[in-house]
Structure 1
Amino acid sequence: MAFIHAIHMNPRHDETSYARNSSFQNAEKKRMKPLIDAAITDLCNNTNTLLHGKMMMVDVGYSSGPNAVALRSTAIDAIHSHCLQINQPPPEVCVLLNDLPDNDFNTVVKSLVTLRQSKKAIVVTGVAPGLFYERLLTSNSLHLVCSSNRLFWLSKAPEDLTRNHIPVSDIDEHARRERLPMVREAYAQQFRKDLSLFLELRAKELVSGGQMVISLVGTRSNAIASKFILFPGIVV
């Protein structure tokens, strides 16, 4: 699939790199903290979910640069805080990062080493390269799935547009305005298909009682707007 090799973050650290242009994503991750805390609390309180004192989590479509370990650190800190409150040892944690194979794994792996060394409990880290619209892990193996502002990436361009050779945008202003409703609906349909597939795949990988915390940027109406609103939430 050409898409797998075509889209990835700019791995450099110059003015155009993701690391230098990700303040919005950083703010979004901070908004997710209460949701991750709640998900961790539910997991730690469910003795049937956390068997043998082990927890596996994955960050789907992880960030690079300063946001690289934000969600994972939040989750691990929540685990330590909760276990300290109930006077129990924290579980052994396996943290996996998922992204396309061409992304800059080398840089983020270094930050994972720092994450492992900074935590008192056993934290094992790894990567799971691949498209998140495919199976990533074995069935009933995951306890927590996190994804921050990544699910707007579609698995492919809408078939109706590619089949009819309709461009997303057009130089001709009149043609663009006429096609806008069709283009918007085509992308909306593709998003619904991809999101349904994503949830089906993660449902197979999650253990019973597992948690998913995702955030997306969207609008409150069907109208195209210049202001976007965050819709973070938990899917159980």
Structure 2
Amino acid sequence: MVHMNQGQGETSYAHNSSIQNRMKPLIEAAIIDLCGSRSTLFPEKMLIADLGCSYGPNALALVSTAVKAIINHCLQFQQPPPEVCVLLNDLPDNDFNTVVKSLVTLRQNNNKLVVVTGVAPGSFYERLFTSDSLHLVCSSNSLHWLSMAPEDLTMNQIPAYDMDEHARRERLPMRLMHVSSGKISYFSWS
């Protein structure tokens, strides 16, 4: 079974998940684009979904950024904030207990607007939401945890990912040692 590496080591999820921080400016720009300016009609309700939600300290990184961007945008343009619904999605086998506890914290920390939270368990290859209901969808974690490879990649025999990414990272120092000693070509090692 594929799972995230636990702990704080070199190959742990917590150590290798800085992508969320790089997504913040993109999410803020998307919120500005969605909300418009003072002259445009501001949405009364917004639904934000995180597909393949993270676990642990990064569980709410992207959706929290979106909620803060909404608050800041409303303050800047003196607009009343919309009601916000935040839904986290992952496969049903995920332990949602910790994630749900963090959703409570998200609601409590954003008392300047109505934040309703929930989970949407299931594969994002299937329909999870009603038509025209989503305003912002983010996903920093789902691409490398796909439950099946995208059809275009499999049809064209393009390798989508290393099935054992964490083991590959653990072998990297050994590979580099062999390359530097001249005993093996880095590109021929599998």
TM-score by length of 1: 0.58
In the alignment, structure 1 residue 98 sits paired with structure 2 residue 100: no
CA contact 1:98–1:129 (8 Å) conserved in 2: yes
Unaligned runs of 5+ in 2: 162-185
Q: Which residue of 1 aligns with 2:63?
A: 72
CA contact 2:54–2:141 (8 Å) conserved in 1: no
Q: Which residue of 2 aligns with 1:36?
A: 27
More strand by share: 1
Q: Which residue of 1 aligns with 2:13?
A: 21
Amino acid at match of 1:15: G
Q: Which residue of 2 aligns with 1:133?
A: 125
Q: Counterparts of 2:98 and 2:65 in 1: how far apart (Å)?
A: 20
Structure 1 residues 157 and 35: alpha-carbon distance in aligned structure 2, compared to 1, 3 A threshold = closer
Q: Counterparts of 1:117 and 1:128 in 2: how far apart (Å)?
A: 21
Q: Aligned pairs, how many?
A: 155
Q: Counterparts of 2:48 and 2:114 in 1: how far apart (Å)?
A: 14
Q: Report % sequence identity.
A: 63
| Cα shift at 1:157 | 6.2
Amino acid at match of 1:151: L
TM-score by length of 2: 0.71
1:142 aligned counterpart, secondary structure: coil
Q: Which residue of 2 aligns with 1:113?
A: 104
Amino acid at match of 2:144: F
**What whole-Å deviation, never above 9, does each CA across 1:110-149 have from its counterpart, x for those lacking one?**
0000000010210000000001111111111100000004
Amino acid at match of 2:27: I
Structure 1 residues 49 and 144: alpha-carbon distance in aligned structure 2, compared to 1, 3 A threshold = farther
Structure 1 residues 145 and 49: alpha-carbon distance in aligned structure 2, compared to 1, 3 A threshold = farther
Structure 1 residues 101 and 55: alpha-carbon distance in aligned structure 2, compared to 1, 3 A threshold = same
In the alignment, structure 1 residue 147 sits paired with structure 2 residue 139: yes
Q: CA RMSD of the aligned region, Å?
A: 2.9
Unaligned runs of 5+ in 1: 1-5, 160-182, 192-223, 226-236
* Mean CA deviation greater in 133-142 or 94-103: 133-142
| Cα shift at 1:156 | 3.0
Q: Counterparts of 2:92 and 2:108 in 1: how far apart (Å)?
A: 26
Structure 1 residues 141 and 49: alpha-carbon distance in aligned structure 2, compared to 1, 3 A threshold = farther
